[in-house]
Amino acid sequence: MSEIIKTIKDLAHKVSEDYLLFEKDMNESLITLVQNGSIENLEILKRICEQANQNVYLALFYDKDVDNSNIIFDIADYNKISSDAQISEEAMKDYNTPPENYRSMLEIAVIPNVTKEKSDNEKLGELNEVVEYRQSLNNLLNQIGMMKTSEINIAEDAFNKMSNDAKRLIANGESLGDIAKIASRHIKENIGGDVIKIAECYDLIHKNLSGKFHVKTGFTKISSHTINKKSKILEPVERFSMAMTKISGFAEMENNIKKVISVFNKTIKENQ
């Protein structure tokens, strides 16, 4: 396994382990690693962030004491770390200079170099490592796919509950405009989720109910009042918002892993 892969895995393991065991903030840990020279450039920092987040999520998902339908943790935020750490432009200049026989940064970051100067046995051994690592990525991809499917089911169930709650409130004379505004305010102010997704949900609910009920859509003073965070009406809204955030994260993980696997496939094909 190349030194870069080992560095990424080892540092990601240490950062995620310190977070899980000692509640040490992953962002602070990574900034320290950047400042002491353990992380040399932004591309490696990005890979370590992705791996550390995956490590923590999977650890919490398989922890029997954790509700895996509602996993929340402080992620390793690449954008925040790269900004706070202020990695030198000179280091980035050196890193972005294409080497001879240039390959993509992603390939260099994850693929051991199987050179023709080595013996056949050495090349075969390195190639087997690449094949094994690709299989581990395929296994991870399958796990993430299952977790994404689980979150999709949670989102669908939450949406159905939101729709039923809206139908009941509308039947009691409430305005769908107020319901949607209160839900969106709660997500924006207290959860930090995607407000647009919530608005799209209530737009769809409106379309589904319009032919069956007289649906009020105006805003009243009610939707501007202080929100009761403990309201049962907001529970499915929170579940939907958190599920959609996780689905988006899993989709990004899948996309990144598929890109890496495609590079592995190319390398394996070229060296068989």
- Chain segment 76-123, per-residue pLDDT in tens: 888 888 877 654 444 444 444 433 332 333 333 344 444 445 566 666
Q: Are residues 88 and 65 in the same domain?
A: yes
Work out the mean pLDDT of the chain and round it to a whole number. 79
Q: Region 208-225: what's the mean pLDDT? A: 83
pLDDT for residue 116: 46
Q: Are residues 122 and 106 in the same domain?
A: no
Residues of the chain with pLDDT > 90, as a percent, come to 19
DSSP 99: P
Q: Are residues 78 and 204 in the same domain?
A: no
Q: Are residues 131 and 262 in the same domain?
A: yes
Residues 162-185 as b/e (b if ≥16 CB within 10 A, e otherwise) read bbebbbeebeeebbbbbbbbbbbe
Q: Region 143-154: what's the mean pLDDT? A: 88
Q: Are residues 89 and 127 in the same domain?
A: no
pLDDT for residue 118: 57
Residues of the chain with pLDDT > 70, as a percent, come to 83
Q: Are residues 166 and 145 in the same domain?
A: yes
Pick the closest to residue 29 from 10, 47, 14, 40 (CA basis).
14
**Whether the predicted pLDDT of 193 surpasses 60:** yes
Domain stop point among 110, 137, 171: 110
pLDDT for residue 157: 94
pLDDT for residue 129: 77
Domain stop point among 58, 78, 110: 110
pLDDT for residue 160: 94
Q: Are residues 88 and 136 in the same domain?
A: no
Domains held by the chain: number: 2
User: By residue range, what is the domain housing residue 88?
Assistant: 1-110
Q: Measured between alpha carbons, how far is 125 from 101 in angstroms, rounded to an integer?
A: 23
Q: Are residues 197 and 75 in the same domain?
A: no
Q: Are residues 76 and 150 in the same domain?
A: no
Higher pLDDT, residue 58 or 62? 58
Banded model confidence at residue 142, pLDDT cuts 50, 70, 90: confident
Banded model confidence at residue 68, pLDDT cuts 50, 70, 90: low
Report the Cα 82 to chain-centroid distance in Å.
Answer: 18
Q: Are residues 75 and 180 in the same domain?
A: no
Note the maximum CA span of the chain.
Answer: 80
Q: Measured between alpha carbons, how far is 17 from 9 in angstroms, rounded to an integer?
A: 12
Burial category of 142 from C-beta neighbours within 10 Å (exposed 0-12, middle 13-18, buried 19 and up): exposed
| Inter-residue contact 195 to 188 (CB < 8 Å) | yes
pLDDT for residue 117: 54
Domain stop point among 55, 76, 110: 110
Q: Are residues 91 and 179 in the same domain?
A: no
Cβ neighbours of residue 88 closer than 8 Å, sequence gap 6 or more? none
Q: Are residues 165 and 233 in the same domain?
A: yes
**Whether the predicted pLDDT of 207 surpasses 60:** yes
Q: Region 30-42: what's the mean pLDDT? A: 86
DSSP output for 214-271: -------GGGGSPP-TT-GGGHHHHHHHHHHHHHHHHHHHHHHHHHHHHHHHHHHHHH
